[in-house]
Amino acid sequence: MTAASVPDSASRASSASRASSASRAGSASRAGSVRVPAEQRGGRLDVVLSTALSAALSLLSGLVFAPVFGGYRSDGAIGRFDLAILGGVVVPVGLSGILFVRTRLTAATRTATAAAGLIAYVLVVLTPGRHVLDGPRRLLTSGLPVQAKGPELAAVVLAVGVAALLSAELVQRRRNALLPALPPLVCAVVGLAVGASIGPPAGWLGPGFALVVAAQLATRQIMAGGWREASTTMFGRTPGRTSGRGGRRGVPAGPRLAGTRPGPGPGRAVKILRGLAPPAAALTAIVLALLFVPIVPGGSGDTARFDAQSLVAQPVTPRSTINPLVAFPALAHGKDPDLGPELVVHSATAVDKLRAVTLTDFDGVYWTASAAYRRADQRLPSPPVTVPSREEEIGVTVVKPGSLTWLPALGRPLRLSVSGMGVDPSTGDIVVPSDRPVPASYSVVGAVPVVDDDDRLAVDVPVRMTERADYDVPRAVRDAADRAAASARTPLAQVQAVRDLFLRSGQYRYDDSVDAPAGHGLYQISRLLADRRGTSEQFASAFAVMVRSLGYEARVVFGYLAPRPDAQSGEFRITGRDVHAWAEVLFKESGWVSFDPSPRNDRADAQPLPRPDPDPAGGPPSAAGGAGGASQAGQVPGSLPHRSGGTDDAENTEARDGDWPPVLVALPVVVGAALLVVGAVPVAKTIRARRRRGNSDVSARIEGARQEMVDRLVDAGIPLVRSHTGKDLVAATESHASSRLAEPVADLVAVHEAAVFAPGPARPQQSDKAWTLVTRVSRQLRAEIPWSRRVRAHLALTSFRRR
């Protein structure tokens, strides 16, 4: 055979091969089953490996939600949450991968099939019940952690499954090596935001996330032959040809025919860039992992994260809005028999006090609770600061609820035998919601701090106040605090000196008579310092205000004193006469530490107590609740004491030295915040609309439809305010939009006015019509405004502002 015949033979062989392949493809197509040849499937190994790594990345993002469901098991075993997340990742990714390798389905069909499999897995295996769509709302309105079941778990598994499916599809399209990491990253950011109030996830998740992303990028690069070419170029060797899919693009594998030339390969600079791409991508993955700054080594565990629950108004309203400290005199003296509760408490250990509610805010007259209560499961939120403590359980039988609104507990409540109550995640206070009855009985496990004044507190310091008080402390109160703390050498000694002024000086008496003073404002505190007698209501308030005047965080706790238990049963009975108040001071390491300044062993008698020394500046304490005389020299009345340098500044400097570089922290924080805003605003609007439409009152639903219409028009750029009359709304819509849009607006205004001004109650048909018109308004808006303006309307925050 001559050399000239070689091309002809090769051409004939190639033509025969193509004809045979076309014949086989046509036969398979006629049979109705399109299968990918084995030689092509073998070339998809890089996609298979990258898909497996994307599934691992999605699994890590799902584990970020673990604190929401109680955290990680200490024994390392796999629990219900872990299995649910694993299934939520394997089912969609497995289906998508099988369809990609074994069939030639389009990407849309493949994605829809895998999504259907994910939904079937959630509905059949997790069995969330008929409230499956209510999972996100429950996660945002419940006290965390919650049990790993029901709609809450289904919502998380769906979110993780969707992220895993999107990541797998991006891998299979092979357009960008970094894009597949984006859906799991967004899912992880959402998990951090949802669980911000319960605490950070495991510390290894951040580095694990970075390593998996780096491995995914390295796999893609190795399978493409980038490292081999770049390494040979950088070391001065001419890169040899490779065979198979690992060879250079555009150069066929195998021997080259005579008379042909290899195609032009990539230049030297391109090869070097390919070699540097994997390390650069790995560095990018590490930067992305810095979204977990509070949990990676070197991050600050106290770094505040965005809390997704702050976007939703909490639905729990207390059973009673009466301030318990205001009702203190009536409860303590039994003036109203129906007011005080009656409880039978059983405890295996000795009990001194039971706490009910924490009062954190003081306006100069009243101490109040500024809690946002969330619906609680049986497992309650853990304390934000971990301190040495022991768990103790009490059982309570409610003989007579009276005005009982907060359930008494021992220490910080951790677990409750009944669900559906409200809980304050910051303090652990348990409140009876207005839509629930007081439980006939319950048991609660609490964490009782173990704090030794001479050991742990001796090396701890109180936390300085960061906010200016809204009231002016009378001069007599400030002077009393300064005199008590004058000889103290440490901050702890200052706090103890203020407590001992009331508790151990012998100058003050506890007054439990019928004529005992009432109230706990600045005026009553001044009278306590003048008359030197009062109840725990005044002593606790005076101690907290005086400690705050020294510049430290303090608050008041309302609860009950535990009487002597029965010798045989170990039970004791609590009534309204057992009410008591004490204070707590916040320490950096020990958290909130209790201080009870009430001199209960020194009871007041009929003999008058000696009057205190006259005021050094002249004049008695102020009889008003405001400022009590001139302020100290160089200090604005009511302001915080000047914080000098020294130890505190040195500690702050040490803390700053260990922080991450600002450049590395700022970039992922900004990116994560942008992603959260983009996703959070539409979700918040959807939840708002559902709450308005789901109101049980028909008139309120119609009013909600009108408000929803106004909000959507305002977000679309039409200048409206909620105070506009119906005629104003229609006129403004027609002048700034069109008559077609003004038509459904006018119809909804007519329905609203007919319901408001009708002599009888509104009908459900009117509510349904109103919300149908809201849908018409939205459709007309989408038809009239351009897509860019629609996007801005979805992300606009105008409707959330007061107008």
DSSP string, 641-709: PP--SSHHHHHHHHHHHTSPPHHHHHHHHHHHHHHHHHHHHHHHHHHHHHHHHT-SSHHHHHHHHHHHH
User: Which residues lie below 8 Å from residue 264, measured CB to CB, with a gap of 6+?
Assistant: 250
For 587-620, what is each residue's pLDDT tens digit? 988 889 999 999 988 776 544 444 444 443 333 3
Reply yes or no on whether the pLDDT at 439 is more than 50.
Answer: yes
Residues of the chain above pLDDT 90, percent: 32
Mean pLDDT, range 747-772, rounded to an integer: 87
400 forms bridges with which residues in the sheet?
A: 342
Write out the two tokens for 585.
Answer: 């001071």
- Lowest average pLDDT, out of 334-338, 345-349, 499-503, goes to 334-338
- For residue range 36-52, what is the model confidence (pLDDT) as tens digits? 444 444 446 777 888 88
The encoded tokens of residue 361 equal 């805010």
**What is the arithmetic mean of pLDDT over 512-539?**
93
What pLDDT shows up at residue 76?
66
pLDDT at 259: 45
Q: Which residues of 561-582 are buried (b: 16+ CB within 10 A; e: fewer)?
A: bbeebeeeeeebebbbebbbbb
- CB distance 632 to 549 below 8 Å: no
Q: Between 623 and 371, where is the model more confident?
A: 371
Residue 669 has pLDDT above 70, yes or no: no
Which residues, at least 6 apart from 458, have a Cβ–Cβ distance to it below 8 Å? 492
Q: If you average pLDDT over every residue of the chain, what do you get?
A: 77
Task: Give Cα 27 distance to the centre of its chain.
Answer: 58
Q: Determine what percent of the chain is predicted with pLDDT higher than 70.
A: 72
pLDDT over 60 at 621, yes or no: no
pLDDT of residue 718: 85
What pLDDT is stored for residue 4 in this prediction? 45
Banded pLDDT at 552 (limits 50, 70, 90): very high
Give the β-pairing of 422-423 and 430-431: antiparallel
pLDDT at 13 over 60: no
Determine the Cα–Cα distance for residues 590 and 460; give it in Å rounded to an integer: 7
Strands 374-376 and 142-143: parallel
The residue type at 297: P
Cβ contact 55:89 at 8 Å: yes
Which class for 2: exposed (0-12), middle (13-18), buried (19 or more C-beta within 10 A)?
exposed
Per-residue confidence (pLDDT) for residue 300, from 0 to 100 = 38
DSSP state of 576: G
Q: How far is CA 255 from CA 9, 12, 220, in A?
A: 15, 18, 27
Query: Average of pLDDT values for 162-171?
Result: 92
Give pLDDT, residue 415: 92
Q: Residue 425: what are its φ and ψ, rounded to 5°?
A: -60, -25
Q: Higher pLDDT residue, 471 or 803?
A: 471
Task: Report the 10 Å Cβ neighbour count for 721.
Answer: 12
Model confidence at 662, pLDDT cuts 50, 70, 90, reads very low
| Residue 147 in this model has a pLDDT that exceeds 70 | yes
